[in-house]
Structure 1
């Protein structure tokens, strides 16, 4: 992991998410998602809030003080709000020094490189969640899922997870699952069609 700079992958992941958010129609906001406790609106709130959190971390602030949900976003503002926070997070992580500096994230104090790699995993996973919820309107970048799955297998190697882990226990990927399907299964998600 130390040899890989996660910034280009994170940038691509934010571009992919931005394109996906643009496809959300108002009537889809109350639809269900593979994150069983979230509807589409709540998932978008978490995506924006989580992106703001890692932006604050990249700026040298206390990301844990940032609630990982965005409040008071109007239904037709998700694209603009995500674009704003996406611009902020990419600027926050421009510095090479930030890659090695210790930062505090929900899973502990780690080098910035490890923190941003974890957020690539989270964002790419939530991209699959949102795409699944919206009927898969866009083709997703498999290289991003490969990186996210490698990260997930490294940081969450045990298929069984306790209640302290933010992801459910691993599931078996459906037969013929693509790399996103494998990532989703490793993080305890099932396709909506199979739910």
Structure 2
């Protein structure tokens, strides 16, 4: 996994999220999401905050210096906030040399490649969570979800969960579940 340059998929995940959030109906912001810890407003703030965090890490900062929360965003500016965060992250990780440097992320010290892989998994998963509220009929990128699911299975063991591993237990899915539902279930969503 150390030879992977996940920046193309990472940038694709950012673009997918930004496109989804553009034109968001503010009336949906208080609706629940599949990520039980958050309503839509909270999940958007968390996801945009996570994007700023990985940008900050790429700029040389320590992952725990910033919360994975975006702060106050106007109800009508979620698309703009997502766009700004995505542009910052893309710029922060444009340098090839950062892929093999070590960075301090919330779960330890890892190479840039592994840091981006972890955030790719998070962004793809939360984009699916967000889509379930904004536009459940949206066709999300299956290749991104397959990459994120493969990463999730390598990075995050099925057991043990809870405590230091901030994910609920793996939930079963029907045999015909799509890749996004499989990813969500692996990360603890009851889908």
TM-score (normalizing by structure 2): 0.96
Gaps of 5+ in 2: none
2:53 aligns to what? Answer: 53
2:173 aligns to what? Answer: 173
1:85 is displaced (CA, Å) by: 1.1
Aligned 1:122-137 pairs, distance under 5 A: 122-137=122-137
Deviations 1:38-89 (A, max 9, x none): 1000000001100000000001112211111011100001111110111010
Q: Is the 8 A contact 1:159 1:186 kept in 2?
A: no
1:103 is displaced (CA, Å) by: 0.3
Greater displacement, 53-62 / 165-174: 165-174
Distance 1:86 1:155 in 2: 24
1:149 aligns to what? Answer: 149
Deviations 1:7-46 (A, max 9, x none): 0000000010011111421110000001112100000000
What SS class does the counterpart of residue 68 from structure 1 fall into? coil
Aligned length: 191
2:140 aligns to what? Answer: 140
Q: Is the 8 A contact 1:18 1:82 kept in 2?
A: yes
1:9 aligns to what? Answer: 9
Greater displacement, 154-163 / 10-19: 154-163
1:33 aligns to what? Answer: 33
Q: Is the 8 A contact 2:50 2:69 kept in 1?
A: yes
1:157 is displaced (CA, Å) by: 2.0
Alpha-carbon RMSD across the aligned residues, in angstroms, is 1.2
Gaps of 5+ in 1: none
Q: Is the 8 A contact 2:30 2:41 kept in 1?
A: yes
Greater displacement, 155-164 / 56-65: 155-164
Matching of residue 65 in structure 1 with residue 71 in structure 2: no
1:80 aligns to what? Answer: 80
Distance 1:103 1:137 in 2: 37
Distance 1:60 1:137 in 2: 38
Q: Is the 8 A contact 1:173 1:186 kept in 2?
A: no
Deviations 1:115-168 (A, max 9, x none): 000000000010111111224142100010111011100011224402221221
Distance 2:160 2:20 in 1: 31
1:104 aligns to what? Answer: 104
